[in-house]
Structure formats: C-alpha cells, structure tokens
Amino acid sequence: QSAVVRPRASDRSMITVSWGCVVAVVAVTLTLGACGRKSEVPVVMPPQVPPVAANPAPVRRPPASVPEGARRWRKVILAEWRYAFGIASDEAIPFSQIAQESGWKEDARSRVGALGLSQFMPSTAAGFQRNVSRLQELCSTPAGCPMEPRWAIRAMTVYDFDEWKWAGFAPTDRDRWAFMLSSYNGGRAALRREQHACGKPCDQTRWFDHVERVGRRADWAIRENREYVRRIIFHHQPIYRRWLG
C-alpha cells in the first residue's frame, strides 16, 4: 500500500504563498502585456487650432450699392476730374456732389429752375458756355447744354476747380472742400460776406464750426447750404470712396 504523505502545516502555508506570488506575477504580466499592445480604445485627440497670423489681412467690405448713373458716367467723371485736379485729389467728391445735386437724374429740374445732373441755373450755364472753350467743344448753343450729361459733368468740374483754387487759404483739405462746395451751392459772394462777419474766436479760414455758424443770407438758404456741404462730405463721400476703392 502506498503511503499517503500529508503535508505539514508549514508546507501548506508555503504552497499558499507560492500560489499568491504566481497570481501576482500573472497579473503584472498581463498588465504589462496590455501596455505593450496598441490600445483598442479610440483615443480622442484635441482639436487642431489653426495658427493666428501675425498680421491678419483686413476684411474687405463689399462695394457699396450706387445708382446706375454713377456706373454709367464713371469713366467720364474720373477723366474730367483728373484733367482739372490731377490724380491725387479725392475722386469721390464729384460723384458725391452729383448724388446730392440731382440724385443722378439727367433730366432733373429744380423748383427754382436749375437743370441737369449738376443743376446749373440757365444764367450760370450761359456764362460758362461763353467763357470756357472746353465747354464749347461739347455744345454749340450759346445757352450751354446743362441737360446733356457730358457738358454738365465738365461744367461742374470747371466750377469746382475755380472755387477750390480760391479756397487755398483753408488749413485742412476737408475745410477746403467745404468752402468749395458751399460756394458752388450758394455763391462765393454770400460766402465771402459770412467770412468777413466771422470775428474772433471764429476762424475765417475754417468752414466747419466756424464760418458755417455765421449766417448772412435767408434762413432757408443757410439751412440748405449747410446741409448740402455736410451731406456730401459725411454721407455720400464715404459711400463713393468704398465703391471707387
């Protein structure tokens, strides 16, 4: 008969410890094995943020909407304006002025009798036609042709340039344009009277907040003249500047 060998108590404790070590070793091995394999769990990567440019390009606004008349006569207006003023002047001025004068209506007639795109009075048109040879190239009628757009654009440019040269005393470009426009609308004589009435601290060489505050004409004429200048420079001019680029 085979003898059954029963382990002593101390041997049983050693076996128990050995199995515990085996289990621990297996667990560590499995863990390390899992670390060594490619993970089957999808990894969520942080979103890629595009780098910010050091000098980001400015956002270009779409061109402002302008009347069809401005598009139709653009080349003619620019050619006439550059002929008189050169290419360095503000080319939005004549477009803004026509917008205020007639709203681009070629057959416009005011309640006081002003005619065409640039709203020349008949007597003023006749005087310019008589004295400006370049206008005679476009029209043979002694009275001039204020209802003809090319004549009206050239006549307005000639008138503007005369007043702009006269206003060379203005200390800023904006004041010089304002004097030119105020004279075109209401006449240089009325404007000169207001300049002379502009005593200290009023500055006779500045239109905005100085001469514009002095009135030496009818109330309705003062309101019309001041609104005329301000509408052109502060309302129309920014629109046509964006459109012209």
Please write the tens of the pLDDT for every residue from 130-180.
999 999 999 999 999 999 999 999 999 999 999 999 999 999 999 999 999
| Residue type (1 letter), 117 | L
Write down the pLDDT at residue 63.
Answer: 53
CA distance 85 to 108: 26
Q: Where are the alpha helices (DSSP H) in 41-148?
A: 68-72, 74-85, 92-102, 122-131, 133-136
Q: Map tokens 């909407």 to a residue.
A: 65
pTM: 0.74
Q: Where are the alpha helices (DSSP H) in 167-207?
A: 173-186, 188-196
Q: Look at residue 225 and tell me whether its pLDDT is greater than 60.
A: yes
15-36 confidence digits (pLDDT tens): 343 434 333 333 434 343 444 4
CB 117 within 8 A of CB 153: yes
pLDDT class of 48 with cuts at 50, 70, 90: low
Helix axes 173-186, 149-166, angle to 10 degrees: 120
SS3 state of residue 48: coil
